[in-house]
Structure 1
Amino acid sequence: MLVYTMDTSVQPLSHHQNDDQSTLPPSERYLNRYLSWLEFNRRVLAEASRARHPLLERAKFLAIFSVNLDEFFMVHVADLLEQSRLHRDQRSPEGLSVREQLNRIKPVVVELAEEQHRCWTGEIQPQLREAGIAVVDYDALTVEQRNAAEKHFNEEIFPVLTPLAFDPGHPFPHISNLSLNLAVVIHDPRHGERFARLKVPGVFPRFVRVPSEDGTAVLVWIEQVIAAHMQPLFPGLSVTATYPFKVTRDGGVELKELESDDLLETIEREVRQRHWGDVVRLTVDESMPERIREILIENLEIDAEDVYQVR
C-alpha cells in the first residue's frame, strides 16, 4: 500500500532562536496558536500542488484542507467569539487580545481560500479533464446532457426537496451546521419579491454525472442542477435568482461536570448539538448581492466580519 506524506523539511532557525529568548518580548517569544494552526493547514493545501502525488490524492488534499478549516471555525474561532461575547479581556501568551486574534485570522483564511481556488481551477480541474474526468458548470452542458440532468432531478432529487419561505409571516428556518443551502429569490405577482431557503439534501453525492459522446466522465455540481430545475417547487411564482451559501456553527465539545459519568454519552450529546450551536461563519458565493447577504446576516444574528466570500 502506498502512503503519501506531507513535506516535513525543517526551516532554518531565526537569529532570535540562537539568543537568550527570556529577554525577548512575548510577541517574539511565542507563536499564536490559531495562526500557527492555519499555517499547518497551509501545508496541507500545499500538498495538493505537488506533482509527486497521484492526481486524485491531490484532489483529496483539497478536501482535507476544507474539512480542517471547518473544524477550525467550529472549535477555535467559536472559542474566540465566545470570549468576545463574554467581554473577556484575557490576552494570548504573545500579547494579543481576542479581537486582535480574530482580525488576524480572517485575512489568512481569505488568502488560503484564494489559493485553494487557484489550485483547483488552475491545476487539479484541468488535469482531471485531461485524465477523462470533466467537472463542469451546468451552463456548459449540451442540450442532451441538460435533458439527462433534468431526468435525474425529477426522478431522484425533486421528491425530497422542501423549500421554506422566510418573510414577516414565516420565521427564518433553522440552517443546520455545514449544510449546503440555496437562497432563492422569488417574484410573487401579488406581493412582489419574496425569499425562500432550499437545503441541498446531504444524502446525494456532490456531483451529478451526465452522459458524454467521447466517454469522458462529465460531472456537474448538484446545487447547479437543483437551481436550474427548481421552478416546479414554486407553483404560481417565478424563481428569479439562486445563491448558494453554507453556515458553520459552534461545535466545541465542553466536558463539564455532569450527573452522568459516561464520557461517550457526553460526547454523543455534544456532537448532536453541533447542529444547533451559534453561527461562527457564513460562507456565500461571490455572486450573492449585498441585500441578500444582509438578510442572512440579520436572521442568523452574526456580524459582517463573520461572512466569507468564495468563488
Structure 2
Amino acid sequence: MTRKPPPTAALATPDLAAPELYLSRELAALEFNFRVLAMAHDPAVPLLERLRYLSIVANNLDEFFEVRVAMLKHHHMYGSAAPGPDGIPSGELLARIRARVLDLVGEQYATWRGELGPQLEAEGIRFLTRDRWSERQRRWLQGYFEHEVLPVLSPLGLDPAHPFPRILNKTLNIAVVLKGRDAFGHEGHMALVRAPRSLPRIIRIPPEVDGGGDDFVFLAELLQAFVDLMFPGFKVVGSYQFRVTRNSELMVEEAEVENLARALSEELAGRGYARPVRLEIADDCPKAITRMLVNNFELEEADVYRCDGPVNIIRAGLVYDWVDRPDLKFPRFTPRQPPAIGPGRCMFEAIGQRDVLLHHPYESFGAVVELLRQASADPDVLAIKQTLYRAGEDTPLVDLLVEAARNGKDVTVVIELRARFDEEANIRLATRLQEVGVQVVYGVVGYKTHAKMMLIVRREGGALRRYAHLSTGNYHQANSRVYTDIGLMTAQPEITEDLHKVFQQLSGLGPVIHLRRLLQSPFTLYKSVMAKIERETAHAQAGKPARIVAKLNALNEAHVIQALYRASQAGVEIDLIVRGACTLRPGLPGVSERIRVRSIVGRFLEHSRVYWFYNDGDSELYCGSADWMERNLMRRIEVAFPILDPALAARVFEETLANGLADNTQAWLLGGDGRYVRATPGEQPPHNAQQTLLERLCGA
C-alpha cells in the first residue's frame, strides 16, 4: 500500500518571518517613482504628459521626505526605530534610502536636461535660462522683476543683527554671496532672498515680446539674473538656489484634546517650520555655503541633495495647463454614462431595480453627483449620511449637501480632518457644513475614517428604504477623471443595513457591531482577509483548485504576507497587481513560487482595490478602500463591500483583474530581488489595460 505524503503544512518549511523574505517598505516606495519616471522617458507617451510625470516624481519625493523619511529620522534620533519585517536597522536604511534617492534625482535631472528640455524646445516650448534671453526678453523680464517681484521681496543680509531667518517648508530661496559695504559701513558677506508664495514660480513671456510662442522662465532664474538690483552698492559674487523640506506629520494627541478641529488648526500653523529633513541646493553651490546652510538647518551632509537644474523642478508641470497643444497630450475622451442610468431617469428607481456599477474614469462620476442632487431635492428623502476624506474644494457634492440641509434633510457628514495634506481644506469644509446645520463628526479618536460611503434614507409607500453608494475612491470629482476606481450603487437591504450600522457607530460611538455583508476594519476586515487566504490554502491542501487575485495600491502587512506565502507553499496560485510599494518577495523557491506580482503605471493612477477568491468555484469578489497594509487593516475605519450581482462581479473581475494581468505594455513585473522589469508583448499582441477600457467603454 502506497503511503500518502503528509499535508503541506506538516512539511519542514522556512521561517516565514525571516527578514530576508521581506523588502523594505521605504525602498519599495522609492522604486515606484522609478516606474513613474520611466513614463517621462517613454517616447510613446505624449511630450507634455511626460513633463507631467517628471513633476509627479518630484511631488512624490517631497511627500516621501515629509512623511516617511521624517518619521524614520525621528525614531532613529530617539532610539525608538525598531526594524520592520525586513530587519534593516534604521541607520542602514537611511543610508540605503539616500543612495537610491541620489540615483532617482540624478536620473530625474538627466531626463530634464537631456530629453524633455530639448524635445519641448523642438516643439516651440522653451524654458529659458538667463544666458539665452534675447535683448527684448531681458528688458521685459527686468521690467517684470522691478514692478511685480522686487516690491514683495525682503532681501536679508546676514549679520549679528540679522540672524538666519525661518525658512518655510518647500519654498524657493536664494543664497547670495556679497562683497562691499552697506550705508552704515558694515561689510557684507552673505544674504538670503526668500521668494514669497504669492509669487508665481514660472513666468510666461508674452509672445509679442520677441515674436515667439511658449517661452517660460523659472522664478529662480529671474531672481538670480537681477539679484544685483536687490543689493545696490554691493558686488554679487555668487547666488545659489536652495530649498528645505520639513517634517509634515502632525503630532496631535487626539485623546488629550477637547476639540480636534481647533487642535489641528493650531498644529497646522507650525507645520511649515517643523524639523528639516532634506536640503536641496544648486549643483554649483560652494562647499562653504553648503556647510553654512547645513549648520543653520541642523542637518548633516547626508541630508543634502544637489540639483543639476531648478531646485523646484516640480513647478515645470504647471505649463501643462498653460500650453494649448492637444497634439502633445493624451487624446481627450468622454466618460460614458452607466447604461442603467439614462438621462432624466429617477436614480432611486434605477438603483432599486438592480445594482449599478461605476468604473471611473471610464464611466462618469456625474452619476454620483446626480444621485446626491436628486436626494437633496426629493421631498421623500429624509436623511443623507456621507463620509468625506479628500473631497477637493471645487466639488459640487458639498454644495448639494448644503442644499439638502437647507431643504430640511437630516444630513450627517463624517469628515476626516487628518487626511494628510488636506487638513486645512477639510477644516474649512467642516465649518461651512456646520454653518448650515449639517451634523459634522470627525470620526473616531485614534482611527482615520478612510471608508468611502454614502447612505440615503427615503420614504416609499409608507416604509423606509435605504440607498447606498460605496467606492474604492474619494468623493473628489477631479480625481475621478484621472484615478481608476470602482463604485457601487445598491439598495440591497443586507448592505444598506450594514452601512446604517457603520454610520451609527461613527456618529454615536457605539459598540462593536455585527455586519452581514460588509467587512470593516479595524474589526473584521483583517480577520476576513486572513480567513479567506487560509480557506484557499485548505482547498489546495485538499487537492482542489485554489486561486487568489488581488489589486492593491500597496502591500506590506507581514501577517498577510506570511499567509500568502503559506498559501503558495500549499499550491494556491496567486496574482497580485500592486501599483506602489510591495514588500512581499515573489518567486522564492519553497516560499513564493506560485506568487506573481505586477505593477501597472499608465495614463491613469490605478487606485481601485479588488480582492477575489476562487473558493472552490463559488468565487467571492470584494472592492474597498483598504490596501493590505498594517495601517489600513488595523488603524483605520475601512469598508470592503461584496459585488453580489454575478454579472457585475464578472465585469469587475474582467475589467480590473483579468485585464490588468493581460497588460504587457504598461505593466512591470517584480522579481524576488526587489527589482522591477517592464513587461513586453513578446509573441503576444500588445495589450494596454487602460487603453482597452477606453476603447471598450468610451469609444476612445
Q: Same fold (TM over 0.5)?
A: yes
CA contact (8 A) 1:89 1:98 kept: yes
CA apart distance, 1:281: 0.3
1:187: how far off?
Answer: 1.2
Q: Does 1:73 align with 2:65?
A: yes
Structure 1: 5+ residue stretches without partners? 1-18
1:252 aligns with 2:249: yes
Match of 1:199 in 2: 194
For 1:261 and 1:120, locate their aligned partners in 2 and report how far apart those are by CA, in whole Å.
Answer: 49
- The answer to whether the aligner puts 1:99 opposite 2:55 as a matched pair is no
Q: 1:164 is matched by which residue type in structure 2?
A: L
Counterpart of 2:100, as a letter, is V
Q: Is 1:223 aligned to residue 237 of structure 2? A: no
Alpha-carbon distance in 1 for matches of 2:195, 2:287: 22
Match of 1:45 in 2: 37
Give the Cα–Cα distance (whole angstroms) in 2 for the partners of residues 101 and 91 of structure 1.
9
**Which residues of 2 match residues 161-180 of structure 1 at below 5 A?**
161-180=153-172
**Aligned partner of 2:282 among 282, 285, 295:** 285
DSSP-derived class of the 2:254 partner: coil
Kindly provide the CA deviation profile for residues 127-154 of structure 1, in whole angstroms up to 9, marking residues without a partner as x: 2112111112111112221111101111
Residue 188 (structure 1) aligned with residue 183 (structure 2)? no
- CA deviation string 1:6-43 (max 9, x = no partner): xxxxxxxxxxxxx9874367332111010011011211
How far the C-alpha of 1:167 sits from its partner, in A, is: 2.4
Aligned CA distance change for structure 1 residues 89 and 202 (closer, same or farther; 3 Å): closer
The verdict on how the C-alpha distance between 1:28 and 1:151 changes in structure 2, with shifts beyond 3 A counting, is: same
For 1:58 and 1:263, how far apart are their aligned partners in 2? 41
Deviations 1:65-112 (A, max 9, x none): 111100100111001111121123522211111101101000100100
Output the amino acid matched with 1:96.
I
CA RMSD of the aligned region, Å? Answer: 2.1
CA separation in 2, counterparts of 1:119 and 1:231?
32
The answer on 1:128 being equivalent to 2:120 is: yes
**1:34 alignment partner in structure 2:** 26
> Structure 1 stretch 261-270 or stretch 132-141: which is displaced more?
261-270
Give 3-state SS (helix, strand or coil) of 1:246's partner. strand
Mapped pair 1:302 → 2:294: no
For 2:261 and 2:144, locate their aligned partners in 1 and report how far apart those are by CA, in whole Å: 41
Question: Does the 8 Å CA contact 1:138/1:221 hold for their aligned counterparts?
Answer: no
From the CA coordinates, give the structure whose radius of gyration is larger: 2
Q: Which amino acid aligns with 1:203?
A: S
- Tell me the equivalent position of 2:606: none
CA distance in 2, matches of 1:62, 1:261: 43
1:135–1:220 contact (8 Å) kept in structure 2: yes
Are 1:149 and 2:146 matched, yes or no? no
**Are the aligned partners of 2:155 and 2:194 in contact in 1 as well (CA < 8 Å)?**
yes
In structure 2, the residue matched to 1:237 is 234
Asked whether the 8 Å contact 1:251–1:271 carries over to 2, the reply is: no
Q: 110-119 or 45-54, which moves further after superposition?
A: 45-54
Residue 173 of structure 1 and its aligned partner are, at CA, apart by: 0.3
How many Å separate the matches in 1 of 2:196 and 2:125? 24
Structure 1 CA distance, aligned partners of 2:194 and 2:219? Answer: 12
**Structure 2 counterpart of 1:118, from 101, 110, 114:** 110
Distance change (3 Å), C-alpha of 1:21 and 1:265: farther
Q: Secondary structure at the match of 1:296?
A: helix
TM-score (norm 2): 0.40
Q: Distance in 2 between matches of 1:143 and 1:118?
A: 29
Determine the C-alpha separation between the residues in 2 that align with 1:265 and 1:63.
Answer: 34
Alignment counterpart, residue 54 of structure 2, candidates 58, 62, 80: 62
- Percent identical among aligned pairs is 37
Higher relative contact order (CA 8 A, sep 6+): 1
Between the aligned partners of 1:108 and 1:149, the Cα distance in structure 2 is 38
The letter of the residue matching 1:220 is V
1:309 to partner: Cα distance: 0.8
Following the alignment from structure 1 to structure 2, what is the Cα–Cα distance between the partners of residues 76 and 21? Answer: 34
After superposition, give the CA deviation of every residue in 1:168-190 in whole Å (9 maximum; x if it has no partner). Answer: 33221001000010001111235
Change (3 A) 1:114 1:21: farther
State whether residues 245 and 277 of structure 2, in contact with CA within 8 Å, keep that contact through their aligned partners in structure 1. yes
Separation in structure 1 between the aligned mates of residue 230 and residue 299 of structure 2, nearest angstrom: 29
In 1, Cα distance between the equivalents of 2:191 and 2:281?
A: 16
